[in-house]
A and B are shown apart, each in its own frame.
Chain A
Amino acid sequence: MKAPVLGRFFGQAKVETLPDIAAAALRSDRFRLEREGDWKRLESILVKMERGRLRTLPDDDILALPALYRIAASSLAVARETSLDKATLSFLESLVQRAWFQVYGPRRGLIGWLRGFLGGGLSQSVQQIWLDICIALAAMVAGTITGWLLVRGDQEWYYSLVPSQFADTRVPGASREVLLQSLAVDKDAQGLGAFATYLFSNNAGVAIMAFALGFAFGVPSVLLLVQNMAILGAMWWLYSNAGLSWEFAGWLGVHGTTELFAILLAGAAGIHVGRSMAFPGKRSIMSATAISGRRAAQVMAGVVMMLVVAAILEAFPRQLLGMQDRLMIGGSMLALWLTYFFALRPPKASAISGDIR
């Protein structure tokens, strides 16, 4: 009876018959024909794994993978010394390479990585860059004070420090009522969702930039922090001059504790990379940079997460809640982040340092 036609599409490809081993004239070809079945089996397993179809792979194949990899690897070693067949050699080289990528490939999926990341990997990385966090914090404080002092000395500085998008009604000489109005509560939640998304996308872009600029030995990261905080210092002076210090702190703090913390971490991550390039210590520059870069990347993933939270806080509670609630939310968010990053001692199973030797 003939096989159904569909079988051609869904069935296994027909195994091609190998030539008789004894028929090969050359010893090296006999060597190849004896092992070719194993190589082909390894190749078919690899094709499935590369397509991400690990689940469809039978248990036998998964168990056989390490053995098949070793067979292919030792075949390559022998073939290099005995065979001049270029086709076989380049096939084996690419086969062993591909098998190596799968055998020593990532062991955890995205979910597994996320679990390790949130359950200790992130806070561990943050703790490891404490020195850079201190440097970034110093830069931010210095920037705020500079902005404040500059504007107090000469109000013209306000216009050069604060970008025009912020300086609408909020300019020196504005009355207390106008300034209070700019901190007011919206009555309606309309449009705030889009506002939050825009804020997130914008801030995340800036934070990633602050990190990436750390590549130039961290200097641009520091400059960026100082410059941005000078804007804050200038605006703070404006509001405190009108006797609105607390109101401004509430307006800023509800999301600012999260957002400024995230920017602090992004800057610190950039400084961390730049610093380990400039002062690699006993390690080579390459390995020092790679280790600190991977650590900083973890921090940056946390930064993006924090910015999502910050954008939601900025769009909804800030626009809808009053003074007291704003200050309370801001304060408790800060406490929450500090506890998560610094108070919890993660289990010592390291997410990062175990991967790099």
Chain B
Amino acid sequence: MSRSQTRSYDAAQGKRRRIVETPEGIALPFTVGARSARAGALIIDYLIIFIVIISFTLMLGWIFGGVLKSGGGAGNIAGAGEFLLVIYILVLFLARYGYFLTFEMGPRGATPGKRLVGLRVAARDGGHLTPEAVLARNLLRDVEILLPLVFVFSAPSGDNGAAGWAAAAWFLVFMLFACFNRDAMRAGDLIAGTWVVEAPRTKLAPTLSTGAAAREGVSDVTGARYRFGSKELAVYGEYELQTLERVLREGSQEAIEAVAKTICDKIGWTVGGGDEKAFLESFYSQLRARLEGNLRFGKRKADKHS
């Protein structure tokens, strides 16, 4: 069951894979960000903006309260109040338009919300992400988010009749634009020539073939020697190899025992209790040695069925 789940996940991810050729001629795969992840990032960003504005309002209110208390002439108080109002309006404007611009122009090309869900903005043509492009994609946010929400919430009140409904439907097209194309581009992305891609930060896991069990097939625990014949290694392909890799790297004892039992049943072996890990490590490295050897001669075996 877990297997069919991974399969469908891989398939969904495969649909979002795009190849961009770098100037060096290397085909670099990108994964277009999932729409759900982008919606999540947007919500996080707006939450941040909202919190900043609220706390800023409170702070200004507190300062103004202090001004009132300290007394001074009416002219002084009005002057200070005006100054605070100017700052307040400017900060509101900057929060609304500056937040996305500053962060997306930075070296990470992502707002905090996008970073949290592992996304970033990139230029679609493989060139670099210019300030103009960031500007263009963010100028459209009003039409994509603000106006549709206004019309969608005002249409049911019936004040504008059929015209209100028509406008709401029309603006919903803008809002849901990303759902109508396969690269999940917003209207702003289309205008700016950008897209939002996944930006995974993978740590390099240690090598698996340096342990004693993997190298010589000798178990540290029992001293048993595992050598698999070509018939036994022929049952599995790359997909099973990489599943096995995941099991070994995660290192959960239960999974290791279950997988070891499945493999033993399949190839007709029995393995002593407590030594499943060494068994799997040697099986993994011998299977990988065989598959990689074939790979060098251009023979690939995708999974056990092929």
Contact = CB atoms under 8 A, between A and B. Distances in A.
B282 to A, nearest CB: 9
B169 to A, nearest CB: 13
Contact of B130 (A23, A201, A294): A294
Contacts of B93: 200-201, 204
Nearest to B141: A212
Interface stretch (A99-107, A153-161, A246-254): A99-107
B210 A29 contact: yes
B200 A90 contact: yes
Contacts of B260: none
A110 interface: yes
A357 interface: yes
Residue of B131, B187, B208 with most chain A CB atoms under a 10 A cut-off: B131
B246 A104 contact: no
B191 A215 contact: yes
B184 to A, nearest CB: 14
B86 interface: yes
B201 interface: yes
Interface in A145-195: 190-191, 193-194
Contacts of B289: 25-26
Contacts of A100: 22, 28
Interface in B72-102: 75, 78-79, 82-83, 85-86, 89-90, 92-93, 97
A90 B249 CA distance: 14
A120 interface: no
A213 interface: yes
Contact of B136 (A19, A23, A293): A293
Contacts of A313: none
B142 interface: yes
A228 B241 CA distance: 67
A84 interface: yes
Contacts of A198: 89
A197 B132 contact: no
Contacts of B86: 193-194, 196-197
A40 B191 CA distance: 37
B24 to A, nearest CB: 6
A33 B295 CA distance: 20
A40 B192 CA distance: 34
Interface residues of B, number: 80
A50 interface: yes
Main SS at interface, chain A? helix
A97 B30 contact: yes
A357 B199 CA distance: 24
How big is the A interface, by class? 35 or more
Contacts of B162: none
Interface string B130-158: 11110110011111100100000000000
B26 interface: yes
Interface string A198-219: 1011001100110111011000
Contact of B128 (A23, A82, A106, A205): A106
Contacts of B129: 105-106
Given A24-B210, A52-B106, A197 B295 contact: no
B285 A106 contact: no
Given A90-B200, A102-B107, A289-B191, A73 B26 contact: yes
Best-buried of B24, B26, B86, B202 by chain A (most CB within 10 Å)? B202
Contacts of B89: 194, 197-198, 200-201
A103 to B, nearest CB: 9
A36 B107 contact: no
B225 interface: no
A301 interface: yes
Interface of B: 22-24, 26, 28-30, 75, 78-79, 82-83, 85-86, 89-90, 92-93, 97, 105-109, 120, 122, 124-133, 135-136, 139-144, 147, 170, 174, 187, 190-193, 199-210, 214-216, 238, 241-242, 245-246, 249, 285, 288-289, 291-292, 295-296
For the complex of A and B, the 3 pairs showing the least CB-CB separation, nearest first, are A290-B193, A293-B191, A297-B136
